[in-house]
Chain A
């Protein structure tokens, strides 16, 4: 018997036995397999809709699901206890996030060192094998192994220790010190990173400002390695033809050149002082310095009567110390 005839016969038999899984539409359906979503871009057939709405809606949904399943079943799978799992691709539909993106975390001193040395992070499990108990116990926390030395029922006291030596307290103190050391390192990391970020911000700001000074707004400047490209900086052009605003702009610039620089730091004494001249001595600062920050009134008082020497706490202690 001819082979092709056999194949044709079998496919015919199969077609008779099973319903088709093919979905034929005028416009092919769009699937977002990552979100298990299928979109049917074909317009709704008004006639079929009017004739029997529910049947038509169900038929549309069935075709959609069938088309999506064809794609899901073609995905690579992995096995699990619940049966085969299809590994889904990334979703293609963009949806808004519920919260903003997390801010990148600064690396700690150890993490920087580890990166430089190529040490990869290994998660340390909180379980350690106890040889005596023959079971896994917690490394820290409730009944933690790190509290073993202070919680044991019998303590060995070395011969050279004094009579009031408390091994339990000593072990606890040592553990607490380790903890505090880590806390301190953590705090230092935070402070250091905050300081560095502040420095970086200042540099970024001044670099951005210096770029503004060239005609191309820094477009053709030489950049250092790792330097970011300025974004959102656009050149602004004044109109080429003579306009009424040109004179105003020039005059504004010239008047600025003539005046004294206005700085927030140059504090001017708001009190009226007719006798004041453009003197070299900054009286306010001088008074502050002479009175050690106490002010002019206190300075005047101290000049009137010489300050009575009072014994400070520390000196009293020194004199009347242990006798």
Chain B
């Protein structure tokens, strides 16, 4: 546990306030940790994943003795220290060659982890094609029915979605949809048991991680025709160990804030009718009123336009008033 600091100046106060829990959270920051033993493939994988995750990524430059499935204390500590909630750990051993561990945190504690073995890897530099701008939000594509049915792959989907696209957005530039991360599975083996989460890795289909840049072409209609160009990196991953979230902690983590009315009008939620914000930031609204009663309109005061005695009497008897009180000033 980190020592708690009492802020002594405004800068520290701001820095600590920025770390406090928020209703709408910031994008998750990922820490990239190298294990004690590496390989050329793993270095390349870590470098390319870092490039995709930037600017919400912190690479650790030194090697660390870390075995997250045996002890998560280091991850908990780093999560607190760096205010990070995602970890990618790499390790190359004889038992588990080219091993990647993705860990997700909740409240600076490990929520769940998946371990993936890199079977094949083509780095981004090997694709001599244009790359997407750094820091731009990708489109994520999941291809396979197992992402909806198999618990192991549901976890993979949730993890990758959180990793690259977890933070909610209010708006997206139509020209800013630059690249897509496609996560597709190999064909499902016919004898795959959907209930069995402890199936051996070789029985579970491979995960193909591909990145493509998107080209938008004229189509004659509003929606453009899309073509993809491989951008890299290209990874084939094999599922290995995993750690499911604790149901009690997960329940706590899945709590969502109630949306405020202001957030809904600003575009996070439903559209509000007759209301818009102009370029100056002022709210412009169209309001609907009932028909104006012109009979009660005060016009120029003239003796000839004064109500007659009969009219006054009629009004007074309606409203139960003394008729004499009306013309008191005349006498």
Contacts and interface: CB of A to CB of B under 8 A. Distances in A.
Contacts of A96: 104, 106, 111, 158, 162, 245, 250, 253-254
A135 B269 CA distance: 40
B176 interface: yes
B140 interface: yes
Nearest to B229: A58
A61 B145 contact: no
Interface string B125-155: 0000000000001111111110110000000
Contact of B143 (A21, A35, A64, A70): A64
Interface string A81-125: 011111111110111111111100000000000000000000000
Contacts of A86: 171-174
Nearest to B218: A18
B244 interface: no
A17 B217 CA distance: 12
Nearest to A15: B220
Contacts of A69: 177, 216, 223-224, 226
B25 A36 contact: no
Interface stretch (B31-39, B66-74, B179-187): B179-187
B304 interface: no
Nearest to A33: B172
A139 to B, nearest CB: 16
Contacts, number: 215
Interface string A18-43: 11110000000000001111111111
Interface stretch (B92-100, B207-215, B291-299, B317-325): B207-215
Contacts of A251: none
Contact of B177 (A18, A64, A72, A99): A72
Contact of B174 (A34, A61, A84): A84
Interface stretch (A44-52, A188-196, A201-209): A44-52
A97 B25 contact: yes
B260 interface: no
Given A42-B145, A69-B226, A77-B174, A36 B138 contact: yes
User: Size range of the interface on A?
Assistant: 35 or more
A40 B174 CA distance: 22
A247 B255 CA distance: 45
A182 B261 CA distance: 31
Given A18-B218, A45-B187, A102-B20, A61 B228 contact: yes
B209 to A, nearest CB: 10
Interface in B249-291: 250, 252-257, 259, 267-269, 271
A44 B208 CA distance: 12
Contacts of B252: 100
A60 interface: yes
5 contacts: A35-B168, A41-B148, A62-B212, A64-B182, A98-B28
Interface of B: 20-23, 25, 28, 85, 104-108, 111, 137-145, 147-148, 157-158, 161-162, 165-166, 168-177, 180, 182, 184-188, 208, 210, 212, 214, 216-228, 230, 245, 250, 252-257, 259, 267-269, 271
Interface of A: 14, 17-21, 34-46, 49, 53-54, 57-58, 60-62, 64-66, 68-70, 72-74, 76-78, 80, 82-91, 93-102
